Structure 1
Amino acid sequence: MSGSLDRRSVLRLAGGTAGAAATSGWLWQAAPAHAAEASSAAREARAALDTAVFGDAGSEDAHGLVATGSTTLNGGLDQPARVLNPLETPGFWGGTLALTMACRPRGRTYVTIKLWGDDFGEEKGRLQLYAEGAQVGHFHLGAVDPLDIAGREPRTPGRFYFHTLPLPPELTEGRESVSLEIRSMGRIYPYGATSERYYYALEVPTRGVYRLYTHAEPYFDLADDEVTGSFADAPVRTEPGPEVLETIATRVANRVRGELNRTSVQGNMDYVNILARAYAMPGSEAHRSPAVPAQIVQSVDDLYRRSLTNPSVIEGNWMGASIAGQFLLQLREDLLSRLDAPLTGDPGVLNNPGFDDGHAHPTGWRTHTWSGSGTTVRDTDVTRDGGTASARITIPSSGVVGLVPHARVPVAQGSHTYTVWVRTENVTGSEGAYLDVLFFDSGGRVVGSENKAHATGGSHDWERVTVTLDTPATAVSVETQVRLRGPGTAWFDDLTLTPPSDSTYTPVIRRDAWAELLLTSREFWRRNRRWYTNQTMIVDLGIYLADRGLELLGSPDAWGEERARAYLYEAVGLTPWLGPENEDGTPTRPMGSSYHQVTRAGLTKELGYVGNYGEVQGWLALIHEVVSVFGGVRDDRLRDQLVKIAKTRAIFHHPALDADGYRTMRLETVIGWRDLVYPGKRDYDQANSWEGQTMQLAALVGDPDLTAYARQAMEDHQHFSLLLDAHLAATSAVVDRNLLSVQRDYEIVTTAPASDARLPMTPGQPDFVFADPENAVVAVKHGDEILYASLYWRARWGVNRLARIHHIDVHGIERSATVWTDVRYVPDGRVAVEPDWVNWEFNVGADAPIPPGGFPPPGETPHQAFAGQELPLAAAPDDVPEQPAGQETPFVGRAAFYRCQYGPYLIAMNTTTSRTYTLATRGFGASTDLVTGDRVGGSAELRVRPGTTVVLRRR
C-alpha cells in the first residue's frame, strides 16, 4: 500500500490481498522509498531530530525555554537537570517548562524524556506533556500515558531511562518546529470517589527532568556521548533473615488470640475467616477451639440480619455472602450441628447460655466491673449436667464484677421466667452471686430498675436461681447479667429464658436463614457477572461457594458441586465465558459463545496484556483451596489450568534491582493495559497482593516448577524481604489472613520436590519468543536483551494503531514507548470519535458518581490533543450482540494483523484464525527470524499464517 495515511483513517479495499477480504480495513504507513539502507544512513534516520538539555544554559536558550517554578541542579551521574516545584500555595498544578523543538513536517514525530532511575516517591507527582497548547494523552489509563508517573520504588537504580510518547501527526503537519510544554502536577488516587479524593496537591519538587528529545522513528539511537549509567552485576540481598517468620508468627498469633476472646460479634468476615483457617492449623491457639464455630455462627447470623435491610452486604462485595459457604465447607461437622437452632438474636433466644462456647473467655459475653476488681474466665473444669464449660467469677476482696451479654434479646409482652444455675465457694458479700435482669426500650434506655435473683452465700454445689417477671409496657429487649458482689468465687451455667405458654414467638431457624442468605447471594451475582478476568474469578468463586453452602444446608435450590464448578471452568478459561444470566438462568452471551477468559497461551484476556490485575495467583490458590482442600474434590483438569496460568505469568517477571540495589525479579507492568505503577512489584512465583502473598499457590498445588520459582526468590535472598513487605503493608484483616499460612507455606516450599527450572527471563536462561495472538502480546529474550510488546494497546473504543513497548538492552538501559503500528482489521462500518477528555479515556457508567472521562482537573481544563480523532471499529464475531459505538468491548479495537517496528525488532502478528497476511521486510534490512532461527533478507516477503507471529531482529 502506498501513500501516507492519516492516523486513524479507514481505507476500504475493492479487492483482497494477502488473504484479506474486500471488507478489510487498513491503517498502514507508507513503506520507505529505498529497499535497503546503508548502516550509517540507517543510524542517521534513527538519531534525534532535536535534543534539549535542561540545566544547560546554552541548550535552554537555543530552545527558547520559559521555566516557571523550576530550579536547576546536578543530579544523577552529575548531569544537569531541572526540577519543577510546588506553587507557593501548593495545589494540584506545579511548575512548568515551555520550549520549542524541531519536528517532522510530514509523518510521525515522537517525544522522549530522559529521567534518572533512582528518583522515586509518589509524592513527586507527575509530568504531563502538552503540544501546541493541547494535552497529549490522559492522566489515567489512556492510550498515551503522562510523560512520567512517579512511583513508590526506583524505576532503574543507577541508570537513566527513556520514555517515549507519540504526537498526533495533525499537530506537526507542515511544521518544522513544535511548541512543547511539561507541566508538573500532584499524584492522583484512581479510586477516589470525589474530586478531592482523586487529585492531590504537589507539595515537593518533582523528579529531575534531564533531557527532552524529538525524533522520527519510535526508537532513536542515543548519541555516543550520551550518559546513561549501567546495569552492573548486582549483589545479593543479605537481610532480613528468618527472624521475619517469627515476627509474622507473633503478629498472627496475637490476631488469632484477640479474635478468639472477642466479646462482641465480628462484622468483618475477613477476621472470621482467620479463625476458620486457624481452626484447622495444629499449633494455633484456635486449633479445634469451641470459640471458633461459635463466633462463625454469630457472625453469619449477624450477616444475614444485616442483609435484610442493607443490600450492599451482598451487592457491594463481588463474592457476596459466599463466605458462609466457605465456612460450611471448612467446618462442616461443627457447624451442621448448630443449624437447626434458632438464629442468634431471635426473640427469647439467649446466646451461649451455658458458656460452652469460647476460649479463655465465653463467646458472646463481655466482662464488666462496676467497682473493685475481679476476674472472669470460661472454666472447663467445673461444669453442670454434661456441659463443657461454665463461667467463673472471682473477687479477691471487694467489688462488683459480672458478665454481660454482647447483645440484648428481643422480648415480647407477658410473664417470662429467667433462670441460672449457680455454684459458690467462700462467697461472703452482702448480695453474693446473683442473676440481674434488665429491660430496655426501643431507644436503648433502661425501663424500670434492676431485677435481681440471689443465690445462697458461702460454699455450695449447683443451685437453681430463678425469677419470673412481667415485661414492662415500653420494653422491647432484655439483658440477663450474672454478677458477684464481694469476695469469693461463683460459677454460673445454663441460663434459660422461658416465655409464657401462650407465646407467639416464631424463631427463625439458622438453616433456613443461611440458605436464604446464600441463595440471594448466588442469584444476584449470577445475574451480575463481571467480564474482566480477575473480577470474573472473584464473582464465580463466590457463586461456587454459595452453591456449595446451599448443598450442605440441604437446600432444594442447590445445583450440586459439578454444575457450580462449571462457573469456575468459565472463569479460568477452560470453557467459554457466557456472561451474566437472565432470571431463568439463560446466559446472555455478551461476548458471544466462544469468548474465553484466558487465552490458549495462558494469559488472562481483557483488552491486551494485564500486569498487576493479571497476576491472579492469589485467586488461583483460593480456587484450588476451596475446590480441592476444603471441598475434597479432585479435578486434575482444573489444577493443570491453574498451573498453566501461573507458569505463563512467570514469563512476565524480569530481572531488575530492588529499592536497595539488590538483584531481584519484577512483574512487567509497563505494557499492562490496566497498570499505572512503574516499576512493577518484586515478583517470582507470586506477588504480594491484597488476595495473597508469595508461596501460596506453589505450596498448595505442589508443582515442581512453581516450587522452583519460589525457591529462586530464596536464592536471591528476596524471600524474607518480600514477606516483611507483606507484614508492613497494612494492619488489616486481609493482610493477617494472608500471613496466616506463611510458616506452613515456607516449610512446604523448602522441602517439596522442585525442578531445576528458573524464571524464563533470568539471565543465562535460553533465548525464546513468546507470542499470544489472542492478547496481541509478545515477550522476547535475546541474550541479555529483553523486549515486551503489547500490540493491542488500550484500544477500548476502536482500532487506535498504538503499541506499547518495554525494552531492556544488553547494558540494562530501559526504554518504555507508546508507538504507531501498521495494522489491518475487519471493519464493522462504524467509527468512535475520541472525546475531548484529559483525565480518563473511558466512561465509567451512568450509575457511578464519576462523570464521563473522570473528574475535570482543578483550574482551567485543557483540551485533548487527540480529540476528534476517528477510531474505526473492528468487527466482532457474528454471534456477539452489537454494542453502541464508544462502548468498551474486547473486539472493537483488536486488529487482525499487526506490524510493529521498534529499534532492531520487526514484529508481525496474525490474530485471525482463517486469514494469511504478508510481511514485507523492505527497508528493515537483513535480519534473523528469532522464532525459526532463519536468516531473512532485506527485501523478503514472509507469509504470516493464522494465529502465528514473526519476530525479526536486525543483524
Structure 2
Amino acid sequence: MSEPVQRRSLLKLAASTAATGWLWQTGVAQAAETEAAPTEAAEACPGPLDTLVLGDTTSETAHTLTATRSDTVTGGLGQPARVLNPAETKGFWGGRLAATLACRPQGATYVTIKLWGSEKGEDLGRLQLFAEGKQVGHFHLGAVDPLDIAGADPRTPDRFYFHTLPLPPELTAGKHAVDLEIRAMGQVAGYALTAADYFKDMTGPSRTVYRLYTHDQPYFDPDPDDITGTLPAPAKRPSPGIEVVQKINARVLAQAAAEASRTVPQLDLWYLEFLARAYRMPATGAYRDSAVPGQIASSLDGIYWQHLSDANVVINSSQQWMGLGRAGLVMLALAGELEPLLDEFVIGSPGVIANAGFEHGTDTPQSWTAPGWGRTADASWSRDTTVARHGGASLKVQATQSNGFITVYSTPKTKIGKGRYTYGAWVRTDGVTGAGAHIDPLFFDADGKLIGGDHRQYATTGTHDWEYVSLDLDTPDGATRTELHLRLSGPGTAWFDDVTLVAPAGSADAPVVRRDAWAKMLLDSREYWRQNVPQYTNQAIICALGLYLADRGLSWLGAETAWGETRARGYLRQSVGLAPWLGPEDKDGNPTKPLGGAYYQVSRKGISKELGYAGNYGELQDWLALVHDAVIGIDGVQDTELHDHLVKMVKARAVFHYPALDSDGYTAMRYEAVVGWRDGGYPGKVAYDEGNKWDGHPLRLATLLKDPDLTSYARQSVADNQVFQVLQEAYDLGASARTNLQLLSIADDYAYVTGSTGGGAPLPMTPGQPDFVFSDEENGLVAVKHGDEILYASLYWRARWGVNWLARVHLITAEGIERSATVWQDVRYVPDGRSFTEPDWINWEFTTPDLPVPAGGYNPPGDVPHQAFAGQALPLAAAPADAPRTAPGQESPFAGRASFYRCAYGPYLIAMNTAADRTYTFSTKGFGAARNLLTGAKVTGNATLSVRPGSTVVLRKR
C-alpha cells in the first residue's frame, strides 16, 4: 500500500497551484478519493485505539498516569473518575492529568473525553488538552476548542456525553503512542479588555473526568460495556407560572408611572423609548398623560446638549452601533404630540427657561420644584389647568397663614452671559395680602455656587387679573447660570404664567430652535455610522436600524438632509439580506464594498452569515422585532416583502432549536450552540423563539409578525411551561432601562399568544414531527432530523484565515446520547495561490483591530504554552472577482470557504456543493450501503453520486 497524501504536502501543493485551478483536497481523516489514492479504511480501528479509565488503578498504571492536585471519586452511575483541584495559591491554572495513550503513526488520531452531563456551573472551569507538551487548540472561539467549557446549565442530565478533538497529524507522525495531558483552569471573560479581567481564577474542583480515548475515525464509537446512561422520562416544568408575567407587569407599570412623573430630563434612550411606548398603552399610568410629551421633549433637549459636549455620545450611545437612531424612534412614536413643540427653543439654550408656560406636567409642572425648605406648612403649589394667560395651564401657589411662604424655582438652571437681562413673569392674584407675589432671580457660577440673589420684584397685592412683573439686572461677575424663583409671601392665592428672560441686544448667545437641534444630532449620528457600518450580521442590523430611524426622524423634522424612505430603508434591506451588503460608505456616499458587490448578510435559506453559522448571535429575533416595528409598526408603513422575509428568517432559525432538558431536568427546547462560530459555551439556552436577552423577550415576535407557525412556537413554550422560566431569568437580569423596555409589553403579548388560535406547526425538531434535511450551502450548514435522532454539522467551521479541513458536528442519538466533535473532512476549493501560517497563539485564533487587545488575545498567567497547530499552512480560497484582495491573516468570509465538502461522521455522509455553477461528484467507497435522506433512494457502498450547484446530499447508513 502506498503512503497516504499528508496534509502538509497538500497545503504546499495548494500554494503552488494557479488560482484558476481546481483542487481535490483531502483531510488527514480520509485519503483522496481517486483510483490511485490510498486509504486507511482497511487498517482503521472500528473502536477506540486506547482507553484510559480515570479512577481505575489498573488502567491508570497501564497508561503511566501522573496526577497533580487530583482526587479519585465515584461519579455518575457509580463510575470511577477523577476531579482536578485548584492550586493552593489562588490562580488560573489547576490540577493536571498526564498519561500516554496509543496513536496512529500516520493519518488521523482523535482524542475523546467522557463527561457526566448532569454537572453544571461555571465554577467548574475548563479542561484543556495538551499533546506532546503543546496546547491543542485555543481557549476562546478557535477551530479546535477546549475539551470542556462548563456552563450554567447541564449538558445532558443523567447521561454521559463525548467530546472529540483532532490532533495535528505531524504531532503523531511515525509514533505509536502520544503523551496527553488534561489541565484544569478557570473560565475566561471573552469581552474583557485587560488580562487581569480576562483570566478567572479556578475556585473549586473541576468537572469530573471519567475516560479519555484515542481513535482514528472521526466518529467515536465506545465499546459495548462503556456505560452511557439513559434519557430521563419527559416531565413538564411545574413552576414558575403566570405569576412571573404578573410580577414583570407590576414592575414595568410602576416604572412607567415613575418615568411619567419625572421632573428632570431622562438621558437614557432606552427609558425614553420606554416612556414613549408606555404613553400609547392603556394599561400604564403614562397612557395619554399630558406630561409625557413635554418630558420627552426636554429629555431629547438634554441628549442634544450631551451630544454637543461629547462627540463620543454618537459612538457610545445606549445601544452600540445604533448611534442616536433610537432618538429618532422616540420622536416618531410621539410625532403628533411633539409636533407643536418643535419650533420652541431647546431647554438649556442661553436665556431659555424650561416649561416657561407651565404647559407640561401633571399635578406639578415639569422643570419646576418647590423644596421642603422653601415653604411653610400651610403653603401649596400645583399646575392649574383651569387658569391660564396663554395655553392651557399656569402655576398656582397659595398660603393661608399670615406668615405663609412658598418659593418655586426653575430647573435646570438657565444659561446666561454677560450683560443686562430682563427677567419677568405674568402674575394674577386673589386675596393676596402681606408682601405678596414676586419674582427673584438667583445667580450661580459654573460650579453651581450661589453668587448673587435677593432681587425681588413684587406684583400688586389684593385681587387682580394678569399683571406683567419684570426687572432688569446686570449679570454678576462669575455668574453663568440663573435660577428664577416665583414666590408668595403672606396669605392668598397667586398664579404665574409666561415667564420671560430677554437677553441684551446683540448677545452672541442665541437660543437654539428645537427642530434644528434635534435634526443636528440625528444627522451627526447618521453621517458617522453610514461611514462606519460593522460587518457581522447582528451589528449590521443594529447599525442599519440606527441609520433608518435617524433618517426617518430627519424626514419628520423637515430636514433637507433627509434621504427619504426608499434610501433609508435600503440599509435595512441590506442588513437582513434583501439586497447585497455594500458596507461602509465614504464621506461622499459611495459604498466601499469591502466584500464585493454581491455579498449578502443573510443566506438565501434565511440564516445570518456572521462568517458562518452563529448560535447565540444568530438568534436575531430581538432585532428582527425592532426592524418590523421600526418600518411597519410606526405609522404603519407597508412592506409585505420585508414582513415575509423576517418570517422566513425566524423559521429558518427554528430548525436550530432542539429537544433537551432544562437545568432542572424538565422538557425544553434549546438553541443549537455546539456548531456555532461565535459560541463560547455549551449548551445553548432554553429558547423556543427567543431566550432571555437584554433586547427582547419570548412571545414578542410572534405577536408582531402574527404568523401561525411563529405563534405555534410561542404556544409550545407556554404548553411546556418553559416561557415562565425564561421570563423569570429575564426579570432577574435586573430592573434596568434596557430590560424594562423589552418587558413592557409582556402582558399584552402573553394575552395575544395564549388567546390565539390557528393551525401552526410546532418547532421542526420536536419529537413526532416529520423527518427532514435542512442545508444552507452559503453557511456550510446542515441539520438533520431522522426519527428522534438529530445531527447538526458546520462544514465551514471557523475557517477565518484559510481552508482548515475541519468540520464541527453535534449528534444526538434517539437514546439521548450526545457527541460533539471537531473532525477532518475532504474539501475542494479554488486556491488564490497564497497561504497563511497558523500563529503560535493559544488564547484566540483571531485578531481584534477595533479593540485594545493584542493579536491572539492575552497570554495566561505563568509559563505560556506553545500551540500544537502552530506553523501549519492554511491555503486561501479565492474570493469573488469583485471583492477586494485581503492580506493573509486578515479575517475574511472567503479565505477558508471551500466549494465542495465531503464529511463522513458515523452513520452519516454529507456531500455539499457550495459553488454556483459547477457540479461535483463523490464516491461512497469505504462508507457502505446507505439511503439518501432527501430522496429516499438506496445507495450502494461503491457508488459515485453527483451534487448539483448549491445543493447537498445526506446519506445515512442502512
Instruction: List per-residue Cα deviations over 1:513-556 (Å, max 9, x = no partner).
Output: 22221112111111111111111111111111111111111111
Residue 613 of structure 2 is matched in structure 1 by: 609
Is residue 52–residue 63 contact of structure 2 (8 Å, CA) maintained in 1?
A: yes
Residue 360 of structure 2 is matched in structure 1 by: 357
Once residues 96 and 424 of structure 1 are traced to their aligned partners in structure 2, the CA distance between those partners, rounded to angstroms, is: 86
Judged with a 3 Å threshold, the aligned counterparts in structure 2 of structure 1 residues 436 and 74 are, in CA distance, closer, same or farther, namely: farther
Alignment pair present for 1:326 and 2:348: no
Give the stretch that moved more between structures: 624-633 or 380-389. Answer: 380-389
Is residue 20–residue 831 contact of structure 2 (8 Å, CA) maintained in 1?
A: no
Residue 839 of structure 1 is matched in structure 2 by: 843
Give the stretch that moved more between structures: 271-280 or 255-264. Answer: 255-264
Once residues 665 and 848 of structure 2 are traced to their aligned partners in structure 1, the CA distance between those partners, rounded to angstroms, is: 40
Alignment pair present for 1:368 and 2:384: no
Instruction: List per-residue Cα deviations over 1:445-490 (Å, max 9, x = no partner).
Output: 2113433345677887766554432211221211113356688876
Is residue 349–residue 511 contact of structure 2 (8 Å, CA) maintained in 1?
A: yes
Classify the secondary structure of the residue corresponding to 1:815.
strand
Give the alignment of 1:936-951 within 5 angstroms.
936-951=939-954
Judged with a 3 Å threshold, the aligned counterparts in structure 2 of structure 1 residues 431 and 118 are, in CA distance, closer, same or farther, namely: farther
Judged with a 3 Å threshold, the aligned counterparts in structure 2 of structure 1 residues 490 and 71 are, in CA distance, closer, same or farther, namely: farther
Aligned Cα RMSD in Å? Answer: 2.6
Give the stretch that moved more between structures: 54-63 or 803-812. Answer: 54-63
Classify the secondary structure of the residue corresponding to 1:450.
coil
Once residues 489 and 727 of structure 1 are traced to their aligned partners in structure 2, the CA distance between those partners, rounded to angstroms, is: 48
Residue 408 of structure 1 is matched in structure 2 by: 413
Judged with a 3 Å threshold, the aligned counterparts in structure 2 of structure 1 residues 257 and 427 are, in CA distance, closer, same or farther, namely: farther
Instruction: List per-residue Cα deviations over 1:790-819 (Å, max 9, x = no partner).
Output: 000000000001111111001101111111
Residue 655 of structure 2 is matched in structure 1 by: 651
Residue 598 of structure 1 is matched in structure 2 by: 602
Instruction: List per-residue Cα deviations over 1:21-44 (Å, max 9, x = no partner).
Output: 734352345549999xxxxx9998
Please tell me the residue identity of whatever aligns with 2:654.
A
Instruction: List per-residue Cα deviations over 1:623-669 (Å, max 9, x = no partner).
Output: 11111110421011111110000000000000001111111100001
Q: CA deviation at 1:277?
A: 0.8
Residue 228 of structure 1 is matched in structure 2 by: 228
Residue 98 of structure 1 is matched in structure 2 by: 98
Is residue 383–residue 493 contact of structure 1 (8 Å, CA) maintained in 2?
A: no
Once residues 214 and 313 of structure 1 are traced to their aligned partners in structure 2, the CA distance between those partners, rounded to angstroms, is: 54
Residue 774 of structure 1 is matched in structure 2 by: 778
Give the alignment of 1:107-256 within 5 angstroms.
107-256=107-256
**Normalized against structure 2, the TM-score is what?**
0.94
Is residue 25–residue 826 contact of structure 1 (8 Å, CA) maintained in 2?
A: no
Residue 546 of structure 1 is matched in structure 2 by: 550
Equivalent residue for 1:525, pick from 520, 523, 529 = 529
Alignment pair present for 1:418 and 2:423: yes
Residue 24 of structure 1 is matched in structure 2 by: 23
Alignment pair present for 1:510 and 2:519: no
Residue 739 of structure 1 is matched in structure 2 by: 743
Is residue 12–residue 26 contact of structure 1 (8 Å, CA) maintained in 2?
A: no
Is residue 6–residue 107 contact of structure 2 (8 Å, CA) maintained in 1?
A: no
Give the alignment of 1:62-101 within 5 angstroms.
62-101=62-101
Q: Which runs of 5+ in 1 are unaligned?
A: 36-40
Is residue 694–residue 723 contact of structure 1 (8 Å, CA) maintained in 2?
A: yes
Alignment pair present for 1:480 and 2:479: no
Alignment pair present for 1:537 and 2:536: no
Once residues 7 and 517 of structure 1 are traced to their aligned partners in structure 2, the CA distance between those partners, rounded to angstroms, is: 56
Alignment pair present for 1:669 and 2:682: no
Please tell me the residue identity of whatever aligns with 1:7.
R
Give the stretch that moved more between structures: 176-185 or 54-63. Answer: 54-63
Classify the secondary structure of the residue corresponding to 2:515.
helix
Once residues 245 and 466 of structure 1 are traced to their aligned partners in structure 2, the CA distance between those partners, rounded to angstroms, is: 55
Q: CA deviation at 1:9?
A: 4.3
Classify the secondary structure of the residue corresponding to 2:267.
coil
Is residue 655–residue 764 contact of structure 2 (8 Å, CA) maintained in 1?
A: yes
Classify the secondary structure of the residue corresponding to 1:370.
helix
Is residue 702–residue 752 contact of structure 1 (8 Å, CA) maintained in 2?
A: no
Give the stretch that moved more between structures: 634-643 or 724-733. Answer: 724-733
Instruction: List per-residue Cα deviations over 1:242-285 (Å, max 9, x = no partner).
Output: 11221111100111122122232212111111001111112211
Alignment pair present for 1:566 and 2:565: no
Please tell me the residue identity of whatever aligns with 2:136.
V
Q: CA deviation at 1:403?
A: 3.7
Once residues 129 and 187 of structure 2 are traced to their aligned partners in structure 1, the CA distance between those partners, rounded to angstroms, is: 15
Classify the secondary structure of the residue corresponding to 1:819.
strand
Classify the secondary structure of the residue corresponding to 1:128.
strand
Classify the secondary structure of the residue corresponding to 2:455.
strand
Judged with a 3 Å threshold, the aligned counterparts in structure 2 of structure 1 residues 635 and 442 are, in CA distance, closer, same or farther, namely: same
Judged with a 3 Å threshold, the aligned counterparts in structure 2 of structure 1 residues 803 and 463 are, in CA distance, closer, same or farther, namely: same
Classify the secondary structure of the residue corresponding to 1:45.
coil
Judged with a 3 Å threshold, the aligned counterparts in structure 2 of structure 1 residues 328 and 489 are, in CA distance, closer, same or farther, namely: same
Q: CA deviation at 1:61?
A: 2.0
Classify the secondary structure of the residue corresponding to 1:831.
strand
Is residue 927–residue 935 contact of structure 1 (8 Å, CA) maintained in 2?
A: yes
Is residue 376–residue 403 contact of structure 1 (8 Å, CA) maintained in 2?
A: no
Once residues 499 and 298 of structure 1 are traced to their aligned partners in structure 2, the CA distance between those partners, rounded to angstroms, is: 21
Give the stretch that moved more between structures: 458-467 or 447-456. Answer: 458-467
Equivalent residue for 2:590, pick from 565, 586, 599 = 586
Is residue 380–residue 399 contact of structure 2 (8 Å, CA) maintained in 1?
A: no
Instruction: List per-residue Cα deviations over 1:413-451 (Å, max 9, x = no partner).
Output: 2332323345677888x8665533211123322113433
Judged with a 3 Å threshold, the aligned counterparts in structure 2 of structure 1 residues 787 and 434 are, in CA distance, closer, same or farther, namely: same
Is residue 420–residue 466 contact of structure 1 (8 Å, CA) maintained in 2?
A: yes
Equivalent residue for 2:472, pick from 468, 472, 476 = 468
Q: CA deviation at 1:621?
A: 0.8
Is residue 378–residue 389 contact of structure 1 (8 Å, CA) maintained in 2?
A: no
Give the stretch that moved more between structures: 479-488 or 910-919. Answer: 479-488
Judged with a 3 Å threshold, the aligned counterparts in structure 2 of structure 1 residues 427 and 817 are, in CA distance, closer, same or farther, namely: farther
Please tell me the residue identity of whatever aligns with 2:772.
F
Q: Which runs of 5+ in 2 are unaligned?
A: 36-40
Percent of aligned pairs sharing the same letter: 55
Q: CA deviation at 1:362?
A: 2.5
Once residues 432 and 404 of structure 2 are traced to their aligned partners in structure 1, the CA distance between those partners, rounded to angstroms, is: 12
Classify the secondary structure of the residue corresponding to 2:371.
strand
Residue 38 of structure 2 is matched in structure 1 by: none
Residue 38 of structure 1 is matched in structure 2 by: none
Q: CA deviation at 1:950?
A: 1.0
**Normalized against structure 1, the TM-score is what?**
0.94
Q: CA deviation at 1:96?
A: 1.6
Once residues 115 and 147 of structure 2 are traced to their aligned partners in structure 1, the CA distance between those partners, rounded to angstroms, is: 10
Instruction: List per-residue Cα deviations over 1:183-210 (Å, max 9, x = no partner).
Output: 1111111111111221111112221112
Q: CA deviation at 1:679?
A: 1.0
Please tell me the residue identity of whatever aligns with 1:883.
T
Judged with a 3 Å threshold, the aligned counterparts in structure 2 of structure 1 residues 411 and 99 are, in CA distance, closer, same or farther, namely: same
Give the alignment of 1:817-836 within 5 angstroms.
817-836=821-840
Please tell me the residue identity of whatever aligns with 2:72.
T
Classify the secondary structure of the residue corresponding to 2:727.
helix
Classify the secondary structure of the residue corresponding to 2:372.
strand
Classify the secondary structure of the residue corresponding to 2:810.
strand
Classify the secondary structure of the residue corresponding to 2:592.
coil
Alignment pair present for 1:448 and 2:452: yes
Equivalent residue for 1:692, pick from 685, 689, 696 = 696
Classify the secondary structure of the residue corresponding to 2:500.
strand
Give the stretch that moved more between structures: 660-669 or 605-614. Answer: 605-614
Give the stretch that moved more between structures: 114-123 or 814-823. Answer: 114-123
Is residue 4–residue 31 contact of structure 2 (8 Å, CA) maintained in 1?
A: no
Once residues 783 and 380 of structure 2 are traced to their aligned partners in structure 1, the CA distance between those partners, rounded to angstroms, is: 64
Residue 894 of structure 1 is matched in structure 2 by: 897
Instruction: List per-residue Cα deviations over 1:566-597 (Å, max 9, x = no partner).
Output: 11111111111111112221111111111111
Judged with a 3 Å threshold, the aligned counterparts in structure 2 of structure 1 residues 849 and 432 are, in CA distance, closer, same or farther, namely: farther
Give the alignment of 1:208-357 within 5 angstroms.
208-316=208-316, 317-357=320-360
Q: CA deviation at 1:771?
A: 0.6
Is residue 376–residue 391 contact of structure 1 (8 Å, CA) maintained in 2?
A: no
Equivalent residue for 1:921, pick from 899, 907, 924 = 924
Give the stretch that moved more between structures: 578-587 or 493-502. Answer: 493-502
Judged with a 3 Å threshold, the aligned counterparts in structure 2 of structure 1 residues 910 and 447 are, in CA distance, closer, same or farther, namely: same
Classify the secondary structure of the residue corresponding to 1:692.
coil
Once residues 380 and 825 of structure 2 are traced to their aligned partners in structure 1, the CA distance between those partners, rounded to angstroms, is: 74
Instruction: List per-residue Cα deviations over 1:39-94 (Å, max 9, x = no partner).
Output: xx999823111112222222222222222222222222222222222222211112
